[in-house]
Protein backbone atom coordinates (compact mmCIF):
# COMPACT_ATOMS: atom_id res chain seq x y z
CA UNK A 1 0.00 0.00 0.00
CA UNK A 2 1.28 3.46 -0.90
CA UNK A 3 0.54 6.91 0.43
CA UNK A 4 0.25 6.19 4.17
CA UNK A 5 0.69 9.20 6.44
CA UNK A 6 1.52 8.34 10.04
CA UNK A 7 0.14 11.04 12.33
CA UNK A 8 1.09 11.21 16.02
CA UNK A 9 -1.06 13.64 18.04
CA UNK A 10 0.87 14.73 21.15
CA UNK A 11 -0.47 17.81 22.90
CA UNK A 12 1.14 19.39 25.96
CA UNK A 13 -1.81 19.16 28.34
CA UNK A 14 -3.31 16.13 30.05
CA UNK A 15 -5.83 15.93 32.89
CA UNK A 16 -5.17 12.44 34.23
CA UNK A 17 -1.37 12.43 33.96
CA UNK A 18 0.35 15.85 33.78
CA UNK A 19 2.92 16.14 30.97
CA UNK A 20 1.99 12.58 30.05
CA UNK A 21 3.75 12.41 26.70
CA UNK A 22 7.10 13.24 28.29
CA UNK A 23 6.83 10.93 31.29
CA UNK A 24 9.40 8.15 31.32
CA UNK A 25 8.27 4.64 30.43
CA UNK A 26 10.93 1.98 30.24
CA UNK A 27 13.52 4.76 30.54
CA UNK A 28 12.25 6.79 27.56
CA UNK A 29 9.51 9.43 27.08
CA UNK A 30 6.10 7.87 26.50
CA UNK A 31 5.65 9.49 23.07
CA UNK A 32 8.97 8.14 21.79
CA UNK A 33 7.76 4.52 21.82
CA UNK A 34 5.17 5.38 19.18
CA UNK A 35 7.52 6.93 16.64
CA UNK A 36 10.14 4.27 17.36
CA UNK A 37 7.67 1.62 16.16
CA UNK A 38 6.13 3.59 13.28
CA UNK A 39 9.34 4.76 11.64
CA UNK A 40 10.42 1.16 10.92
CA UNK A 41 7.26 0.35 8.95
CA UNK A 42 8.05 0.52 5.20
CA UNK A 43 4.46 1.33 4.19
CA UNK A 44 4.47 4.55 6.24
CA UNK A 45 5.85 6.97 3.69
CA UNK A 46 5.77 9.94 6.03
CA UNK A 47 5.58 10.33 9.82
CA UNK A 48 4.36 13.61 11.33
CA UNK A 49 3.92 14.77 14.92
CA UNK A 50 1.12 17.27 15.63
CA UNK A 51 1.93 19.10 18.87
CA UNK A 52 1.70 22.43 20.65
CA UNK A 53 4.49 21.42 23.03
CA UNK A 54 8.00 22.76 22.22
CA UNK A 55 9.61 19.97 24.26
CA UNK A 56 7.77 17.25 22.36
CA UNK A 57 8.61 18.97 19.07
CA UNK A 58 12.32 19.19 19.98
CA UNK A 59 12.37 15.54 21.07
CA UNK A 60 10.72 14.44 17.81
CA UNK A 61 13.10 16.44 15.64
CA UNK A 62 16.06 15.07 17.57
CA UNK A 63 14.77 11.60 16.71
CA UNK A 64 14.44 12.55 13.05
CA UNK A 65 10.63 12.76 13.07
CA UNK A 66 8.90 15.51 11.08
CA UNK A 67 7.21 18.38 12.97
CA UNK A 68 6.26 20.70 10.10
CA UNK A 69 3.85 22.93 12.04
CA UNK A 70 2.77 23.99 15.51
CA UNK A 71 -0.68 22.77 16.46
CA UNK A 72 -3.03 25.73 17.11
CA UNK A 73 -4.02 26.28 20.75
CA UNK A 74 -7.73 25.74 20.04
CA UNK A 75 -6.87 22.20 18.88
CA UNK A 76 -4.83 21.44 22.00
CA UNK A 77 -7.66 21.57 24.54
CA UNK A 78 -9.42 18.69 26.29
CA UNK A 79 -12.46 19.23 24.06
CA UNK A 80 -10.67 19.21 20.70
CA UNK A 81 -11.51 16.08 18.71
CA UNK A 82 -8.89 13.83 17.18
CA UNK A 83 -10.63 14.28 13.84
CA UNK A 84 -10.19 18.07 14.08
CA UNK A 85 -6.49 17.57 14.77
CA UNK A 86 -6.15 15.29 11.75
CA UNK A 87 -8.20 17.66 9.56
CA UNK A 88 -5.86 20.51 10.48
CA UNK A 89 -2.77 18.41 9.70
CA UNK A 90 -4.14 17.30 6.34
CA UNK A 91 -5.15 20.86 5.45
CA UNK A 92 -1.74 22.25 6.39
CA UNK A 93 0.17 19.61 4.44
CA UNK A 94 -2.01 20.14 1.39
CA UNK A 95 -1.84 23.93 1.43
CA UNK A 96 1.83 24.27 2.37
CA UNK A 97 3.32 21.34 0.51
CA UNK A 98 0.71 19.99 -1.87
CA UNK A 99 0.90 16.66 -0.04
CA UNK A 100 -2.25 14.52 0.02
CA UNK A 101 -1.83 10.97 1.39
CA UNK A 102 -4.13 8.15 0.38
CA UNK A 103 -4.42 6.80 3.92
CA UNK A 104 -4.13 8.34 7.39
CA UNK A 105 -2.63 6.23 10.16
CA UNK A 106 -3.40 7.78 13.54
CA UNK A 107 -1.05 6.58 16.29
CA UNK A 108 -1.81 7.85 19.78
CA UNK A 109 1.21 8.10 22.11
CA UNK A 110 -0.87 6.54 24.88
CA UNK A 111 -0.35 3.09 23.33
CA UNK A 112 3.38 2.49 23.87
CA UNK A 113 3.15 -1.31 23.67
CA UNK A 114 1.98 -1.40 20.05
CA UNK A 115 4.70 -2.79 17.79
CA UNK A 116 5.83 -2.17 14.24
CA UNK A 117 4.44 -5.62 13.39
CA UNK A 118 1.02 -4.56 14.71
CA UNK A 119 1.06 -1.53 12.42
CA UNK A 120 2.24 -3.56 9.44
CA UNK A 121 -0.43 -6.20 10.03
CA UNK A 122 -3.21 -3.61 10.25
CA UNK A 123 -2.08 -2.13 6.93
CA UNK A 124 -2.10 -5.61 5.38
CA UNK A 125 -5.68 -6.13 6.62
CA UNK A 126 -6.78 -2.87 4.98
CA UNK A 127 -5.05 -3.77 1.73
CA UNK A 128 -6.33 -7.36 1.51
CA UNK A 129 -9.91 -6.53 2.47
CA UNK A 130 -9.92 -3.26 0.55
CA UNK A 131 -11.35 -1.74 3.70
CA UNK A 132 -12.26 1.91 4.12
CA UNK A 133 -10.98 1.82 7.69
CA UNK A 134 -9.25 -0.51 10.14
CA UNK A 135 -9.26 0.01 13.91
CA UNK A 136 -7.32 -2.00 16.46
CA UNK A 137 -9.34 -3.82 19.11
CA UNK A 138 -8.77 -6.36 21.85
CA UNK A 139 -11.07 -8.87 23.48
CA UNK A 140 -12.81 -7.38 26.49
CA UNK A 141 -11.50 -8.38 29.90
CA UNK A 142 -15.01 -8.22 31.38
CA UNK A 143 -17.80 -9.28 29.06
CA UNK A 144 -20.48 -6.59 28.55
CA UNK A 145 -23.27 -9.19 28.91
CA UNK A 146 -22.20 -9.60 32.55
CA UNK A 147 -22.78 -5.98 33.53
CA UNK A 148 -25.45 -4.37 35.68
CA UNK A 149 -27.14 -1.13 36.55
CA UNK A 150 -27.83 -0.29 40.21
CA UNK A 151 -30.78 1.69 41.55
CA UNK A 152 -30.77 3.98 44.59
CA UNK A 153 -31.46 1.01 46.89
CA UNK A 154 -28.44 -0.86 45.59
CA UNK A 155 -30.48 -3.41 43.65
CA UNK A 156 -28.69 -4.80 40.59
CA UNK A 157 -30.37 -5.24 37.21
CA UNK A 158 -28.95 -6.92 34.14
CA UNK A 159 -28.02 -4.53 31.34
CA UNK A 160 -28.08 -7.40 28.84
CA UNK A 161 -30.66 -10.16 29.21
CA UNK A 162 -28.35 -12.57 27.36
CA UNK A 163 -26.06 -12.61 30.37
CA UNK A 164 -28.61 -14.21 32.67
CA UNK A 165 -28.50 -17.68 31.13
CA UNK A 166 -24.71 -17.90 30.70
CA UNK A 167 -22.86 -19.59 33.54
CA UNK A 168 -19.45 -19.68 31.84
CA UNK A 169 -17.62 -17.11 29.73
CA UNK A 170 -17.26 -19.67 26.93
CA UNK A 171 -21.03 -19.55 26.43
CA UNK A 172 -20.86 -15.87 25.50
CA UNK A 173 -20.00 -14.51 22.03
CA UNK A 174 -16.59 -12.79 21.78
CA UNK A 175 -16.78 -9.08 22.58
CA UNK A 176 -14.18 -6.50 21.60
CA UNK A 177 -13.28 -2.94 22.53
CA UNK A 178 -11.18 -0.38 20.71
CA UNK A 179 -7.78 -0.27 22.39
CA UNK A 180 -6.66 3.11 21.02
CA UNK A 181 -3.48 1.82 19.38
CA UNK A 182 -4.18 1.99 15.63
CA UNK A 183 -6.67 3.98 13.56
CA UNK A 184 -6.23 3.50 9.83
CA UNK A 185 -8.61 5.22 7.42
CA UNK A 186 -8.59 6.31 3.80
CA UNK A 187 -8.22 10.08 3.60
CA UNK A 188 -11.31 10.69 1.49
CA UNK A 189 -13.48 8.57 3.78
CA UNK A 190 -12.08 10.36 6.83
CA UNK A 191 -12.90 13.79 5.43
CA UNK A 192 -16.37 12.73 4.26
CA UNK A 193 -17.51 10.92 7.43
CA UNK A 194 -15.40 13.01 9.84
CA UNK A 195 -14.51 10.10 12.10
CA UNK A 196 -11.74 7.52 12.52
CA UNK A 197 -14.28 4.70 12.80
CA UNK A 198 -16.53 5.28 9.78
CA UNK A 199 -19.07 2.85 8.38
CA UNK A 200 -17.92 0.20 7.69
CA UNK A 201 -14.79 -0.33 9.81
CA UNK A 202 -12.82 -3.58 10.02
CA UNK A 203 -11.38 -4.64 13.37
CA UNK A 204 -7.75 -5.64 13.79
CA UNK A 205 -7.37 -7.79 16.90
CA UNK A 206 -4.41 -7.18 19.22
CA UNK A 207 -3.60 -9.14 22.38
CA UNK A 208 -4.44 -7.57 25.77
CA UNK A 209 -0.76 -7.39 26.76
CA UNK A 210 -0.14 -4.85 23.97
CA UNK A 211 -3.41 -2.98 24.48
CA UNK A 212 -2.65 -0.77 27.48
CA UNK A 213 -4.00 2.74 26.88
CA UNK A 214 -2.25 5.13 29.26
CA UNK A 215 -4.86 7.36 30.88
CA UNK A 216 -3.84 7.30 34.55
CA UNK A 217 -0.81 7.00 36.80
CA UNK A 218 -1.61 3.30 37.24
CA UNK A 219 -1.65 2.76 33.46
CA UNK A 220 1.69 4.56 33.23
CA UNK A 221 3.20 2.37 35.94
CA UNK A 222 1.87 -0.79 34.30
CA UNK A 223 3.26 0.19 30.89
CA UNK A 224 6.61 0.97 32.50
CA UNK A 225 6.70 -2.46 34.14
CA UNK A 226 5.84 -4.26 30.89
CA UNK A 227 8.37 -2.37 28.74
CA UNK A 228 11.11 -2.65 31.38
CA UNK A 229 10.50 -6.41 31.56
CA UNK A 230 10.78 -6.66 27.77
CA UNK A 231 14.04 -4.73 27.75
CA UNK A 232 15.51 -6.92 30.44
CA UNK A 233 14.31 -10.22 28.98
The pLDDT value recorded for residue 2 is 65
The pLDDT value recorded for residue 100 is 96
The pLDDT value recorded for residue 65 is 97
Q: Parse the chain into domains and list their residue ranges.
A: 4-140+176-232, 143-174
Full-model pTM: 0.92
Per-residue pLDDT 10s for the chain (233 aa) are: 669 999 999 998 777 788 999 999 999 999 999 999 999 999 999 999 999 999 999 999 999 999 999 999 999 888 889 999 999 999 999 999 999 999 999 999 999 999 999 999 999 999 999 999 999 999 998 888 888 999 999 999 988 877 777 767 777 888 999 999 999 999 999 999 999 999 999 999 999 999 999 999 999 999 999 999 988 87
What is the distance between the alpha carbons of residues 204 and 216, in angstroms, rounded to a whole number? 25
Which SS3 state, helix, strand or coil, does residue 226 take? helix
What is the distance between the alpha carbons of residues 59 and 38, in angstroms, rounded to a whole number? 16
The pLDDT value recorded for residue 163 is 73
Domain range 4-140+176-232, its CATH number among 3.40.50.620, 3.40.50.2300, 3.90.550.10, 3.40.50.300 = 3.90.550.10
What is the distance between the alpha carbons of residues 13 and 209, in angstroms, rounded to a whole number? 27
The pLDDT value recorded for residue 1 is 63
Backbone angles phi, psi at 52, to 5 degrees: -105, 0
- DSSP string for residues in the chain: ---EEEEEE--S--SSSTTGGGSEETTEEHHHHHHHHHTT-TTEEEEEEE-S-HHHHHHHHHTT-B--SPPPGGGSSTT--HHHHHHHHHHHHHHHH----SEEEE--TT-TT--HHHHHHHHHHHHHHT-SEEEEEEE-SS-GGG-EEE-TT--EEES-THHHH--SGGGSPP-EEEEEEEEEEEHHHHHHH-SSS-SS-EEEE--GGG-----SHHHHHHHHHHHHHHHH-
CB of 93 within 8 A of CB of 191? no
Amino acid sequence: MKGVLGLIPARAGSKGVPRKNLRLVGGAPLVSWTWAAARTVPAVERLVVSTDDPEVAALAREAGVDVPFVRPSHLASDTASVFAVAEHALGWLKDAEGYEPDVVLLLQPTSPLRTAQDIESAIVVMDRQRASAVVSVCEMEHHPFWTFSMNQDGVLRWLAEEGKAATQRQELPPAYRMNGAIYLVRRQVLLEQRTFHPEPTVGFVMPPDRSIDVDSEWDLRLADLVISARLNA
